[in-house]
C-alpha cells in the first residue's frame, strides 16, 4: 500500500514524499482511513511506529478545508504528556503540512503566557499542548473549544500516570459532544478503559503488534552488577565503544542524571543531561544539540525523554531499570527508529531483581546476559521474583483500581507542569556554550 491509496490530498502527499516516506506503517495504514471517515479511534502501537502521522495527517486534511475563523477557537486540539513530545508533534505538523496554509499554536507549561495569548489571538487552526497549560487557558478564557472538530490524546496512559486525569476531564467537559476523538494509548487497563468509554463513541479499535512486544530490530542485552560503582565502571566501558553513534542513558532520578552527566563530561565525552528541573529553554537547546550531533551521550529521566525521536540514536543504556515494565519498552524504543537497527543495554543489581522479572514477563523473554572481561559480577542474579512479590507492574500484573502507591524513584518526583511546580535550570555541563536560545514555548505560522 502507498500513501496515495489512503485518499490523502495532493498537498499532503507532496509533503510526505519530501520527507522520504513511501509506504505507510501498519498503524498509519489502518488508522488514517478510519480517521478520514470521521470515526473515533482507540489505538495502541509500539513507540516509533509512526503514530504521529496516523493522527496528524487526517487532522491536516480536515484543516485543508477552510472555514470561518474565531480567535482562540481551534478546530483541532492535540494533548500530550510532555513538552518534548508536544514540540516533536508540532515539528511533524510543519513537515507534513508545509504546503498547506495552517495556523497553529503550542501551549506548554513553564513558558511565558504573553506569547501564547498572542498565538491564540491569531486564530489558530490547530493547538498542541500539555493538559495543565491547556486547562489554564480554558479557565482564563483565552482558549475556546466550542468549535473543536478533532480531539487527539497522544500517550493517554502516560498522561494519567503523570496525574493529569482531572485536567483531561476538564478538557472533555469543554469540548463539543459531536467532536471526533482519536485516542492513542500503549495500555488499556481499567482506568484507561473508563476514560476511553466516556470520551469515545463507537470507536474503531486498532492494536498494532501487541502491547508486550518490543522491536525486533533492537538487540537487547543485560549486565548483572554488584553495586553503583560497578555500574559506573561498566558504563565507562560501554560508552567507549566506537560503534555508538549517539546514546541515551536512562537514570532513575534527576539528581543521578546530573551526577552521571558530570562524571561522563569529566571523562571527555560530549554529554548533556535532560530532566524536568531544567528550564524549557535549556531542554529545547539540549534536544537541538542532540539532533545536530553536538551531543553524543544524553543522560535522561523517563518523563523528560518521552517522545524523543532522533533517528541517529544507535544505543539506549538503562543505567537503572524502570519500575514499570512498559517504560522499558518506551525507553528502548528511542533507538531502532524508522526501521533502523539499534542496541539496548541494561544493568541490574540484586535490588532490581523484581523490576527485571516484571520486564521479562512483559516482553515475553529473558534478556541475554553479557559479561565484560575484568568487570565480572561477584554474585549471580535471580531474575525470577517471588510469587507473592509482583510489584507495581502497570501492565502484565493486576493492580487495584486507583492504587498508585507504588512508584519508581522518578515518579516520586513527578514532573508536573510549571503551574504546579516551579522549574529551575540544571547545572550546565562544562563543555556546553552559554549562548542564548530562542523561546520554544510558542510557535505560530502559516
List pLDDT tens digits, range 300-334: 988 666 667 788 899 999 999 998 887 888 889 88
User: In the predicted model, is pLDDT for residue 416 greater than 70?
Assistant: no
pLDDT tens track for 141-171: 999 999 999 999 998 888 887 889 899 999 9
Asked if 36 and 61 touch (Cβ cutoff 8 Å), the reply is yes
Rounded-to-integer distance, Cα 236 and Cα 249, Å: 12
Q: pLDDT class for 215, splitting at 50, 70, 90? A: low
Q: pLDDT class for 385, splitting at 50, 70, 90? A: very low
Rounded-to-integer distance, Cα 31 and Cα 380, Å: 46
- Which range (168-172, 208-212, 398-402) has the least confidence? 398-402
pLDDT at residue number 108: 92
* Domain 218-393+405-413 in the same topology as domain 3-207: yes
pLDDT at residue number 14: 94
- Which range (178-182, 195-199, 207-211, 321-325) has the least confidence? 207-211
DSSP secondary structure, 426-442, as one string: PPPPTTS--------S-
Computed over every residue of the chain, the mean pLDDT equals 82
Section 329-356 average pLDDT: 87
In angstroms, the Cα distances linking 130 to 31, 199, 411, 426 are 23, 18, 18, 22
In angstroms, the Cα distances linking 93 to 19, 79, 108, 166, 192 are 12, 14, 16, 27, 27
User: In the predicted model, is pLDDT for residue 401 greater than 70?
Assistant: no
Rounded-to-integer distance, Cα 316 and Cα 342, Å: 8
Neighbours of 102 (CB within 10 A): 21
Spell 322-331 as b/e; 16+ CB within 10 A means b: bbbbbbbbbb
Instruction: Kindly state the percentage of the chain with pLDDT values over 70.
Output: 81
Q: Which residue has the higher pLDDT, 424 or 259?
A: 259
Overall fold of domain 3-207: Rossmann fold (3.40.50)
pLDDT tens track for 276-309: 788 878 888 898 899 899 999 999 988 666 667 7
pLDDT at residue number 68: 86
Sequence ranges of the domains in the chain = 3-207, 218-393+405-413
pLDDT at residue number 29: 94
User: In the predicted model, is pLDDT for residue 435 greater than 50?
Assistant: no
Rounded-to-integer distance, Cα 366 and Cα 206, Å: 28
pLDDT at residue number 47: 66
Q: Residue 360 has which C-alpha cell?
A: 521479562
User: In the predicted model, is pLDDT for residue 405 greater than 50?
Assistant: no
pLDDT at residue number 88: 87
Rounded-to-integer distance, Cα 308 and Cα 212, Å: 21
CATH class for the region spanning 218-393+405-413: alpha beta
Pairing of strands 315-318, 247-250: parallel
pLDDT at residue number 444: 40
pLDDT at residue number 304: 62
Please give the model's pTM, rounded to 2 decimal places. 0.63
Amino acid at each position: 500500500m502507498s500513501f496515495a491509496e489512503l485518499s490523502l490530498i495532493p498537498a499532503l502527499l507532496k509533503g510526505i514524499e519530501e520527507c522520504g516516506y513511501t509506504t505507510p506503517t501498519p498503524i498509519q495504514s489502518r488508522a488514517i482511513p478510519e480517521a478520514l471517515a470521521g470515526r473515533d479511534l482507540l489505538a495502541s502501537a509500539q513507540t516509533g511506529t509512526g503514530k504521529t502521522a496516523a493522527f496528524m495527517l487526517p487532522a491536516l486534511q480536515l484543516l485543508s478545508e477552510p472555514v470561518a475563523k474565531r480567535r482562540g477557537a481551534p478546530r483541532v486540539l492535540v494533548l500530550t504528556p510532555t513538552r518534548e513530545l508536544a514540540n516533536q508533534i508540532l515539528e511533524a505538523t510543519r513537515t507534513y503540512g508545509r504546503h498547506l496554509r495552517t495556523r497553529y499554536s503550542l501551549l506548554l507549561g513553564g513558558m511565558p503566557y504573553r506569547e501564547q495569548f498572542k498565538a491564540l489571538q491569531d486564530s489558530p487552526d490547530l493547538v498542541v499542548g500539555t493538559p495543565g497549560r491547556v486547562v489554564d487557558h480554558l479557565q482564563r478564557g483565552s482558549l475556546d473549544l466550542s468549535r473543536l472538530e478533532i480531539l487527539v490524546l497522544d500517550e493517554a496512559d502516560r498522561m494519567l500516570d503523570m496525574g493529569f486525569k482531572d485536567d483531561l476531564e476538564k478538557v472533555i467537559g469543554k469540548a463539543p459532544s459531536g467532536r471526533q476523538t482519536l485516542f492513542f494509548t500503549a495500555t488499556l487497563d481499567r482506568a484507561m478503559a473508563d476514560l476511553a468509554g466516556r470520551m469515545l463513541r463507537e470507536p474503531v479499535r486498532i492494536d498494532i503488534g501487541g502491547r508486550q512486544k518490543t522491536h525486533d530490530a533492537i538487540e537487547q542485552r543485560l549486565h548483572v552488577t554488584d553495586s553503583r560503582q560497578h555500574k559506573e565502571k561498566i558504563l565507562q566501558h560501554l560508552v567507549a565503544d566506537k560503534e555508538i553513534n549517539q546514546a541515551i542513558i536512562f537514570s532513575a532520578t534527576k539528581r543521578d542524571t546530573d551526577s552521571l552527566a558530570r562524571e561522563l563530561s569529566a571523562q571527555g565525552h560530549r554529554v548533556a543531561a535532560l530532566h524536568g528541573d531544567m528550564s524549557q529553554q535549556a531542554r529545547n537547546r539540549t534536544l537541538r544539540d542532540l539532533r545536530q550531533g553536538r551531543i553524543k551521550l544524553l543522560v535522561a529521566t523517563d518523563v523528560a525523554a518521552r517522545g524523543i525521536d532522533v533517528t541517529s540514536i544507535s544505543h539506549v543504556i538503562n543505567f537503572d531499570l524502570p519500575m514499570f515494565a512498559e517504560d522499558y519498552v518506551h525507553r528502548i524504543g528511542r533507538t531502532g527508529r524508522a526501521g533502523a537497527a539499534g542496541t539496548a543495554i541494561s544493568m541490574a543489581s540484586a535490588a532490581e531483581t523484581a523490576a527485571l522479572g516484571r520486564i521479562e514477563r512483559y516482553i515475553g523473554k529473558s534478556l541475554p546476559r553479557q559479561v565484560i572481561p575484568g568487570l565480572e559480577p561477584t554474585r549471580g542474579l535471580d531474575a525470577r521474583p517471588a510469587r507473592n512479590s509482583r510489584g507495581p507492574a502497570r501492565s502484565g500484573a493486576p493492580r487495584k483500581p486507583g492504587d498508585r502507591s507504588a512508584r519508581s524513584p522518578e515518579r516520586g518526583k513527578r514532573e508536573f507542569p510549571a503551574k504546579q511546580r516551579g522549574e529551575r535550570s540544571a547545572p550546565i555541563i562544562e563543555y556546553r556554550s552559554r549562548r542564548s536560545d530562542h523561546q520554544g514555548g510558542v510557535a505560530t505560522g502559516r
